[in-house]
Chain A
Amino acid sequence: MTAIRRHPESVTLMSFAAGALAEPLSAACSVHVSMCAQCRGELRDMELVGATLLGSTPMGAGRVAVPAKPREVQLGAHTGDGVRNRDGLPGPLARNYGLALDQIPWKRLAPGVWQHHLELSPGAEGELYFIKLAPGFRLPLHGHTGAELTVVLTGAFTDASGEFRRGDMQDIDNSIEHQPVGDKQEGCICLVAAEGPYLLKG
């Protein structure tokens, strides 16, 4: 497995650790983190920041009732069964959506471009979808109305900021316009999380 080279911004990962990201952005972060040991380490340090800050807030008066102490159960050792891939779908996605990459009911958007939206919790902000680019095909030039996180699940894509391969994350805000193009051999399938809809240009 090749090393992951493109990561979320530290402030994005921090917000994910804090539980402050919108649901779709959290989904994209969790998929990247499940594939990226470096970001897992960062996340743990950030959770330590959260633990420390939580401990420094004022207490609020009154005790919390102590429940009955559970019996000590000897649990089996963690098996460390690796990324629970199901037909190439990273663990967090397989667990929450339970569909396989080759079973996605794609909707054709344009020649060589397909999309499939994932359902979010009622009231959740933003959107979450898969996008598939055929080899060498490109998305129309578009801008964004908020943050957008893209994780590559298979293949690769390229835009003006460089190449993104499996596991890489592109973390951009509404100041960026781009025109991603699918890898010439493999094309790509990506998970995209957006705070708001994209804006087509031209």
Chain B
Amino acid sequence: MLRPSIDSPTAYAPRSVSAWGWMPDSLSRIATERSDGAFRRLFEEFGPQIRHYMMRHGADAATAEELAQETLLAVWRKAAQYSAAKGTPATWMFSIARNLRIDRLRREVCWQELSDDVAEGTPSEEAPPDATASERQRQARVQAALSALPEDQRDVVTLAFVEGLAHHAIAERLSLPLGTVKSRLRLAYQKVRAALEDLK
């Protein structure tokens, strides 16, 4: 088992919008274009990212590679039924990777459902014509809101989402009281919410 050491959580935090490794938007384009070239680009561009995520959760290199392939194959299959009303390839990619991690690496029951598997109570509706545009807008807003966060807030959300750490584990890692961790997470999320408010 290989577990990369983490010197400082800030080393993983984005510094500005231009420093983002990729735009979720480019994933939407790749996954909805069904060509051989798009398929290869999906693995080239996003494979190393997912493998890295899995290795940070304790997977050895071979397992991490397998889980990255499995994640992206699932993204590719789901993208064939693309509907912006049911999430985007970027959220699927994160959700699928997260679920595989819980199932294979934590070896626990995964209770999180993928966005279009969640029962809606009413029959699914077609995405309104502007849904794709508004999803793209949501992604841009989330990116901007995250990159504008003060470093202390960005560190705690990064530890939660990328390291998968529970609140008390973040508190231990950063030697902070639990209440401080929760209030930073709450503040960070309020800013993301505010950035999306008028798109609701």
List chain A positions with a Cβ less than 8 A from chain B.
Answer: 1, 9-11, 14-23, 26-27, 29-30, 33-34, 37, 40, 43-67, 69-70, 72-73, 75, 77-84, 91-92, 96, 120-124
Which chain A positions have C-beta within 8 A of B146? 49, 52-53, 56
A48, B185: Cβ atoms closer than 8 Å: no
List chain B positions with a Cβ less than 8 A from chain A.
Answer: 12-14, 19-24, 34, 36, 39-40, 43-44, 47-53, 55, 65, 68-69, 72-73, 76-77, 80-81, 86-88, 90-91, 93-95, 97-99, 101-102, 107-113, 115-116, 118-124, 138-139, 142-143, 146, 157-158, 160-162, 164-167, 169, 182, 185-186, 189-190, 192-193, 196
Instruction: Choose among A27, A47, A120 the residue with the greatest number of B CB atoms under 10 Å from its CB.
Output: A47
Which chain A positions have C-beta within 8 A of B113? 30, 34, 92
Q: Give A26's nearest chain B residue, CB to CB.
A: B111
A53, B157: Cβ atoms closer than 8 Å: yes
B160, A14: Cβ atoms closer than 8 Å: yes
On whether A56 and B21 interact (CB within 8 A), knowing A14-B185, A19-B98, A49-B142, the answer reads yes
A82, B122: Cβ atoms closer than 8 Å: yes
B186, A80: Cβ atoms closer than 8 Å: no
Which chain A positions have C-beta within 8 A of B142? 45, 48-49, 52
Question: Nearest Cβ distance between residue A71 and chain B, in whole angstroms?
Answer: 11
Which residue of the partner chain, among A50, A75, A91, contacts B80 with CB atoms under 8 Å?
A: A75
